[in-house]
Amino acid sequence: MTDKIDVKNIPVDVQLHKPDLKQPNRYPSRDRIYVRAVKGLHQVLRRYMGFFFMGLFMLLPWLRYHGEQAILLNIAEQKFTIFALTLWPQDFTILAWLFIIAAYALFFVTTFYGRVWCGYLCPQSVWTFIFMWFEEKIQGSRNQRMKLDQQAWSVTKFSKKFLTHLCWVTFALLTSLVFVGYFTPIDQLVLNFFTLQAGFWATLAVLFFTFCTYGNAGWMREIMCTHMCPYARFQSAMFDKDTFTVSYDATRGENRGPRSRKDKDYKEKGLGDCIDCNLCVHVCPTGIDIRNGLQYECINCGACIDACDDTMDKVGYPKGLISYTTENRLLGKKTHIFRPKLVGYFAVLVVVCLAFAYTLHQRQPLEFDILRDRGALFRDTSEGWVENTYILRIINKSQHERSYRVEVTGLDDVRWIGPQEVTIAGGETISQPVSLAADPWELAEPITDVTFTVTVLEQPEIQISQTNRFFSRR
C-alpha cells in the first residue's frame, strides 16, 4: 500500500485569558426589576391569601389560653406550648412527623401544580409583595419609579425614598417583634424593647430579623429566589409533562408582533395572537419572559396570566394565551391527572398524617424515669434487711397541676421508704429519692426485676410503668 494518511499537526499551546484588573466594572451590577402592578383573578387570590396568613401570623402570639400565651415556643426552658398541648424535647417525634408531612405536602403540590407555594404563600414572596406595595403607593407606578431613579437627587426624590425605606424598616421591625414573640412572652418583649429594657439576646434577635427582612424583601428580592433558595434548584425533579405550570402557548402566539386592533387579517400576515406588548415581562417579579419557555426562576404567581388575559380582552382575542397548563396539553396530548408519581406522593402523605395522628393520640401527659443510686448497689439496714435507693424523675407534661401515686410490684414483701404521692405543677419536673427494703431470706435470686408504676390520681386511666432491678447479697 502506497497511500499515506495525511497527518495534521494540532497546536497544544493553551492561551489563558486573564481578567484585566485595570478595567473598571468588570462585574456588571444587577439590573433592577421595576414590577408593574396588575389586576386579575390570580392577583386577587394571592393578595387575599397573603393578607389572611399575614394576619394569622400577627395575631397568633397575642392569643391567650387559660391566662397564658396560647403559642409559646420557649427554647430556653425547652417547653413548647400550643394551646392545650405542651411539647418537650422528649416529644421530638411529633415535630419530626410535622416536618415530614410538610415535605410530602410540598412534593405533592409541586408535582400537581408547580411552584404555587413560591408564588402565593412563601414568606419571601409575601413580604416582597408588601414592600413593593409600599414602593408603589409612595413612589408611583412602574414608569414613575423608573423616571424617579433617573432624576438627580432633589428634596422630592429624597423624601419619597426616605419615606419608602422608613415604611420598610418599620414593617420589618413589627414583623420581627411578632416573630421573636413566638419564642418569648410577646407582651413583655414589646414593652421592654421600646423602653430599652429588653435582654441582650432578645434585642439582638429582633434587630437581626429586622435587618434580614429589610434586606431580603427590600433589596435582594428575586435574588433570594434565583440564587439562594434551594427549592428553585431541585423543583424540576418533581415536574413532569403533566404538571400544571404557568406556560405560554407558542403554537397560538407565534409569530408575535404589533398590529392594529382593527386588523382582523393578522393571521394571513403570519402573525399569532401575541401582540408583543411585553406586559408579561413588566409584571413578573423575577423579571423573566415566560414566552421563552419553562424557567427555574418562575414562581408560578400568575401575574403574567392576568396581564395577558387583560390584553387579550382589549384586543378581542380569546384568553388563555398564557395559562396554568401542562406540557402534554400544549403538545395536543391528553393530560393525566392520576399518575403513579402523584398518587404515590398522596399515599405517603396520608400515611405520615395517620402516623402523626397516632403518635399525638398515644402521647402521655407525663414522663417517668428511674435512676439508681450510684454510690452502692445495696446496703444492709440495722434490721438485717437489704435496701436499694432510687431517684424517681417525674415530668408533668400537662399545663395543670396534677397529683401522682407511685407503686412497685415484683417483690412480695417490700417496704417503701419515702413519699408515694406527689403533686407537681403544670410543666414542672421533680426528682424524688425513694428506697425499697426487703428481707433477703425472701429473695430467691441476687437480682430481682421490680416495676414502678405512676398513676395520675385525677385520671387513673393514665399510667406509665418502668422496670428496674433490686440487688441483694444473696
What are 291-305's pLDDT values in tens digits? Answer: 999 888 899 999 999
pLDDT exceeds cutoff 60 at 28? no
Helix (H, G, I), strand (E, B) or coil at 103: helix
Q: Are residues 463 and 380 in the same domain?
A: yes
Question: Is 73 inside a domain boundary?
Answer: no
Q: Inform me whether the pLDDT recorded for 412 exceeds 70.
A: yes
* 51 located within any domain: no
Give pTM, 2 decimals.
Answer: 0.81
Check residue 83 and give left, alpha or beta (phi > 0: left; psi -120 to 50: alpha).
Answer: left
Q: How far apart are the first and last CA of the chain?
A: 103
Same domain, 325 and 419: no
307 and 397 housed in the same domain: no
Answer yes or no: do 307 and 371 share one domain. no
Of residues 375 and 39, the one with the higher pLDDT is 39
* The pLDDT of residue 375: 78
Residue 463: pLDDT band with limits 50, 70, 90? very high
| Residue 192 to residue 198: CA distance in whole angstroms | 5
Answer yes or no: do 378 and 301 share one domain: no
Phi first, then psi, for residue 294 (nearest 5°) are -65, 130
| 242/88: higher pLDDT | 242
Answer with the one of 330, 353, 388 that is the final residue of a domain: 330
- E-strand stretches of 33-136: 64-65, 68-69, 71-74, 79-82, 85-87
Let me know if residue 419 belongs to a domain: yes
Supply the CATH number for residue 467's domain: 2.60.40.10
- Clarify whether residues 466 and 380 are in a common domain: yes
In the Cβ-directed half-sphere of 76, how many Cα atoms lie within 13 Å?
7
Residue 456 falls within a domain, yes or no? yes
CB-based contact 412:442 (threshold 8 Å) = yes
Q: Select from 279, 313, 330 the last residue of a domain.
A: 330
Q: Of 402, 452, 407, 406, which is closest to residue 428 (Cα–Cα)?
A: 402
The per-type count for the chain, helices as H runs and strands as E runs, is 15, 16
Q: How confident is the model at residue 29 (pLDDT cuts 50, 70, 90)?
A: low
Q: Report the distance separating Cα 84 and Cα 447, nearest Å.
A: 43
Of residues 186 and 93, the one with the higher pLDDT is: 186
Residue 64 domain-assigned (yes or no) = no
- The yes-or-no verdict on residue 393 having pLDDT over 80 is yes
Mean pLDDT, residues 390-404 taken together: 90
Beta carbons of 298 and 246 less than 8 angstroms apart: yes
Query: Between 78 and 185, whose confidence is greater?
Result: 185
Q: Give 424 or 3, the one with higher predicted confidence.
A: 424
Alpha-carbon distance 326 to 113, whole Å? 9
Residue 249 domain-assigned (yes or no) = yes
Percent of the chain scoring above 70 in pLDDT? 93
The verdict on residue 309 lying in a domain is yes
CA atoms 352, 356, 362, 368: torsion sign: positive
Buried b (16+ CB within 10 A) or exposed e, 354-381: eebeeeeeeeebbbbebeeeeeebbeee
> How deeply is 248 buried, as exposed, middle or buried, from its count of CB atoms within 10 A (0-12, 13-18, 19+)?
buried
User: Is 463 found in the same domain as 382?
Assistant: yes
Whole-number pLDDT of residue 8:
56
> Are the beta carbons of 78 and 350 closer than 8 angstroms?
no
- Minimum mean pLDDT range among 28-32, 46-50, 312-316: 28-32
Range of the structural domain that residue 316 is part of: 240-330
Of 67, 337, 31, 319, the C-alpha closest to 185 is 67
Residue 67 belongs to some domain of the structure:
no
pLDDT value for 58: 95
Q: What are phi and psi of 74, to 5 degrees?
A: -80, 100
Q: Domain count of the chain? A: 2
Q: How far apart are CA 262 and CA 285, in angstroms?
A: 32
